[in-house]
Each structure stands twice: as C-alpha cells, then as structure tokens.
Chains A and B, each alone.
Chain A
Amino acid sequence: ETGVTQTPRHLVMGMTNKKSLKCEQHLGHNAMYWYKQSAKKPLELMFVYNFKEQTENNSVPSRFSPECPNSSHLFLHLHTLQPEDSALYLCASSRTPNTEAFFGQGTRLTVV
C-alpha cells in the first residue's frame, strides 16, 4: 500500500462534464497539496491545505474547486474544463508545509 493514493489514474472528460479527483494519504501528515504538471513546465502548486484549512490558492481558475474534509482526504472537483487543462494532476502530503512532501501516482487528465 502506497502512502498517498490517487484515483482515478486516468480520466478523459468533455468540456461540459463534472468530475472529481480523489487523494488519500496514510502517512499521518497534516498538509496536503494539489500540483499540476504540464509538458515542458515545472510543477505548479495549485492548492495547499494545512490541518484541513486552505492556506494557499495560487490564482487557480474557479473551474477547479478543492475540498478537504479531513487531514487524510483531498478532492479536486472539476467542471467546464478547457483542453489546455489536460495535464498530470499530482497530490502530495507532508508532515508540515516545509518538510518532505510525498506524491501520489497522479491522475492523467485529458479534456476533449
């Protein structure tokens, strides 16, 4: 069992669809993150939650909506996405925001 688990691993969705990405961590960490990884670009931090409270939102469009019901679970709700939103979406967790972050396997999202 990996420490950070993401589902689904692959997702194809139309621009009018609504879908959600799920992340669960079994490491007892307090901070969880969503990152976006596009080709030829560095990892982009999208959202940070620390003790279930959102602490960072790096100018992410409102078509991405995070939810953190508890310290172990993190969701990313998607609606009316654009083709340029196609990317690898990575969840990560860490004990505190300035310590080692561990990544899930990622969700490869394709918007058609």
Chain B
Amino acid sequence: QKEVEQNSGPLSVPEGAIASLNCTYSDRGSQSFFWYRQYSGKSPELIMSIYSNGDKEDGRFTAQLNKASQYVSLLIRDSQPSDSATYLCAAFNYGGSQGNLIFGKGTKLSVKP
C-alpha cells in the first residue's frame, strides 16, 4: 500500500515564528510532490509543487525535497494567524494506468497571535 504520512498535529507556533511541516512517502518512484492548504469547511488550495531534490522558495513558503530519504517538508516563515489551517502533502505515484495523486491525512497548524 503506497502511503503518504504526516503528523496530524496540531502544530502550534507563535506569530512571526517559522512553522515546519513534514511528510514522508513510501513509494520511492514518486516524482511529483505538492503541498495544499485547507481551511476548515473549504477545499484544498495548492501552495507549492516540487519535482527535484533541494529547496524551492515562493514568498514566505519553502518546500524541501529529499528523495533519498523520501521526505518532503514545507517551511512557513513569519507565520501569521491567517496561516492557521490543515496542510496536506501529496505525492504523485506511478501505479495503475496513469498513476494517482496520494494525499496524507494533513497536519493542522495553529498560529497564535
């Protein structure tokens, strides 16, 4: 069973701090990785995609990928209360006829003012 694992949290950080969200995946052949943010009662919203080893930065967000360790992370700098949400990690997995996007259960982040 191919899986994406996340700590469910809640992860609580003070406003202005760095929030670090982690994700591991079981399928070594996974090639594409995504982070989504989901506010309560809303649908997932894409934040970042990362396809190669290393760091990718976009504003206050940095995604990190380490394929050897099968590990993906998301750093949120200068965390704001509006960042409080559930963060979903997803990995594209080549199985079946076209492959599937497999999601973790999500990590709930709470940013305290």
A interface vs B, CB < 8 Å? 31, 33, 40-43, 45, 48, 50, 55-56, 58, 88, 90, 97-106
Contacts and interface: CB of A to CB of B under 8 A. Distances in A.
A32 to B, nearest CB: 12
25 contacts: A42-B4, A42-B88, A42-B104, A42-B106, A43-B88, A43-B103, A45-B100, A45-B102, A48-B98, A50-B98, A55-B96, A56-B97, A56-B100, A58-B100, A88-B43, A90-B43, A97-B99, A98-B92, A99-B32, A100-B46, A103-B44, A103-B45, A104-B43, A105-B42, A106-B42
A106 B43 contact: yes
Nearest to A45: B100
B46 to A, nearest CB: 5
Contacts of A58: 100
Interface of B: 4, 31-32, 34, 36, 42-46, 49, 88, 92, 94, 96-106
A84 B45 CA distance: 26
Contact of B92 (A41, A42, A97, A104): A97
Contacts of A90: 43-44
B103 A42 contact: yes
A61 B80 CA distance: 42
A97 to B, nearest CB: 5
A97 B44 contact: no
Contact of B32 (A33, A40, A56, A98): A98
Contacts of B42: 105-106
Given A98-B92, A102-B46, A55 B98 contact: yes
